[in-house]
């Protein structure tokens, strides 16, 4: 009889232990429900850009790493008159932006095609780049990109329609 009682207690203890472990196993499921909480972390991966528009006003927006500055202007619906006329096909130079020297060095190499198009940009400086050719990375966080006072669209000049 003592053996039966001992076995019964052993089974009950095992069941309690199993039940306790089973409830512990549900924790990861509960933690999964918090996975929505990672969304803000993803948005934290965005890069902050400060545009200075043609009127000298500062406009702060965010863009995803990999997006070009032209993508950011379009996605944020920024109203920079004439900006990005060729939609990033390196045929206009209307996406001309000016950076400070420190940021300019971080922008990466410039291609011959971009250089050729930049030569036609209005108000060219030593730290000018084309916004459609600059892709965001976290190292560009907080960049300041100045939109020149005026814009020159080489395609209109070629047509003689400017």
| CA 155/CA 84 separation, integer angstroms | 12
Residue 91 contacts ligand FES per CB under 6 A: yes
- Return the residue of 49, 69, 72, 95 that touches ligand FES, per CB under 6 A: 95
- For residues 45 and 51, the answer to whether their CB atoms sit within 8 Å is no
Q: With binding defined as CB under 6 A, does residue 84 bind ligand FES? A: yes
Structure tokens at 101: 């020297």
Q: Site for ligand FES (CB under 6 A): which residue of 92, 97, 147, 151?
A: 92
- Rounded to whole angstroms, the Cα distance separating 30 from 64 reads 30
Could you say whether residue 86 binds ligand FES (CB under 6 A)? yes
SS3 98: strand
Stretch that binds ligand FES, among 21-29, 55-63, 93-101, 135-143 (CB under 6 A): 93-101
- The reply to whether 97 sits near ligand FES by the rule CB under 6 A is no
- Contact region with ligand FES (CB under 6 A), list: 15-23, 81-89, 97-105, 143-151: 81-89
**DSSP states of 103-161 as a string?**
HHHHT----HHHHHHHTTSTT--TTEEEGGG-B--GGGTTEEEEPPSS---HHHHHHT-
Q: Choose which of 107, 117, 134, 152 interacts with ligand FES (CB under 6 A).
A: 117
Residues that bind ligand FES (CB under 6 A): 70, 84-86, 88, 90-95, 117, 130, 132
């Amino acid at each position: 009889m003592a053996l039966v009682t001992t076995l019964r207690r052993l089974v009950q203890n095992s069941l309690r232990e199993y039940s306790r472990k089973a409830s512990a196993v549900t924790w990861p499921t509960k933690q999964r429900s918090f996975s929505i909480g990672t969304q803000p972390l993803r948005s934290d991966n965005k890069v902050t850009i400060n545009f200075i528009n043609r009127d000298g006003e500062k406009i702060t927006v965010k863009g995803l790493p990999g997006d070009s500055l032209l993508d950011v202007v379009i996605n944020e619906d920024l109203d920079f008159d004439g900006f990005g006329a060729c939609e990033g096909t390196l045929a206009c130079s209307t996406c001309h932006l000016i950076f400070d020297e420190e940021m300019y060095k971080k922008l990466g190499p410039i291609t011959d095609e971009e250089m050729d198009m930049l030569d036609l940009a209005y108000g060219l400086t030593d730290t000018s780049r084309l916004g459609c050719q600059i892709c965001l990375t976290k190292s560009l966080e907080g960049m300041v990109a100045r939109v020149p006072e005026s814009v020159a669209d080489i395609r209109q000049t070629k047509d003689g329609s400017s």
